[in-house]
Amino acid sequence: MSNIIEVKDLKKEFKVPKKDKNLSKMKKRLSWFYREWEIKKAVTGIDLEVKKGEILGYLGPNGAGKSTTIKMLTGILHPTSGDIKVMGNLNPIENRNEYTQNIGVVFGQRSILAYDIPVRDSFRLFKAIYGLTEEFYQKRVKYLVEMLGIEPFFETPYRMLSLGEKMRCELAASFLHKPKIVFLDEPTIGLDAEAKISIRSFLKKINKEENVTIMITTHDMDDIEELCQRIVVIDKGTLAYEGSVKKFKETYANSKDVTIHYKKIENKDTWKKLKETIPNRKSDIPKSIIFEFPMNKSLGKFLQDVVKSVEIHDLSIQEPNLEHVIADMYKSSSQKNKGE
């Protein structure tokens, strides 16, 4: 797959008022007229490549620079420095008119639809903005309305919809002009489980059918695990990881949870010795055992020994939770920085 987005040494700095808690009353009053400023670095030298047709997860804690990056990639913010090339040689700022005709954007906490008018009328407005033909518009609306199940409230004013209904309409609007790239910033924030499942299903289907590139930022790790082939993790505005979810877990996770339920013990002495070698036992009730098994050791060899010792009734292996792995990674990074 060829790259549809290429970012080189992307940086964004903001000039913000300098805060000083120890100012005297006189200096505080003077600061109303003579403000002191400082530079806040939001994004500090990110290199990024996004393949055509992939769904990329862009992750990081609050304040890491995720939304700032998305806003630069969509042309909302102008980078302090660095280079962005999209779909060949398009620049989000310099080629704004052509560029915006080929992208879709959804911000989970900001609507792109008109508040007081029916959803259908907002779609008509987008038809005019993107210069869509009537034939294309009718086919496209029919396709998106059916895919997202929004027909029951398509004639309803946006303000009267539930949060889940609003988000489905937002998604339909962002895909209306058949964009090549769609940026989703927290698209499932605040939604219930049913709405999240519906949105994920839509995104997977349209990505497969239309080969549209999707870049998603979210705090919902289920979104990432179900949708993304690859993730990028940033911390304090810099790239911390880039690769597959599986590789990320293997690199940063310490263990996986293993649960064994057994009918009977075949060899008591062997089983007793085997249990003594198991680190981090979480539970050890009759005919069941739950424990953490290190990611860097061979679970297959261990289970072979278990089979020789007990008659297994049921066995389950739970991979490490992505959210916990990322949290542990940030915690480790923070402790390392403090140590330095």
Query: What is the structure's pLDDT at 28?
Result: 63
CB neighbour list of residue 46: distance below 8 Å, 6 or more residues apart? 7, 9, 10, 11, 65, 69, 82, 234, 237, 238, 239
Say which range, 24-33, 131-140, 144-153, 180-189, has the weakest mean pLDDT.
24-33
Instruction: Taking residues 51-75, report their average pLDDT.
Output: 90
- 84 vs 290, more confident: 84
Nearest to 163 by CA among 117, 196, 125: 196
Instruction: Taking residues 107-127, report their average pLDDT.
Output: 90
Instruction: Taking residues 68-96, report their average pLDDT.
Output: 93
Say which range, 9-13, 16-20, 118-122, 221-225, has the weakest mean pLDDT.
16-20
Confidence of residue 340 (pLDDT cuts 50, 70, 90): very low
Query: What is the structure's pLDDT at 32?
Result: 65
In the predicted structure, residue 277 carries a pLDDT above the cut 90: no
For residue range 157-167, list pLDDT tens digits in order: 999 999 889 99
For residue range 214-267, list pLDDT tens digits in order: 999 988 888 898 999 899 998 888 888 899 988 888 788 777 888 888 888 888
* DSSP β-bridge partners for residue 217: 185
Query: What is the structure's pLDDT at 189?
Result: 80
In the predicted structure, residue 339 carries a pLDDT above the cut 70: no
- In the chain, the domains with their CATH numbers are 3-250 (3.40.50.300), 254-319 (3.30.70)
Instruction: Taking residues 324-329, report their average pLDDT.
Output: 76
| Average per-residue pLDDT for the chain | 86
Query: What is the structure's pLDDT at 318?
Result: 81
Query: What is the structure's pLDDT at 283?
Result: 67
Query: What is the structure's pLDDT at 73?
Result: 94
- 199 vs 16, more confident: 199
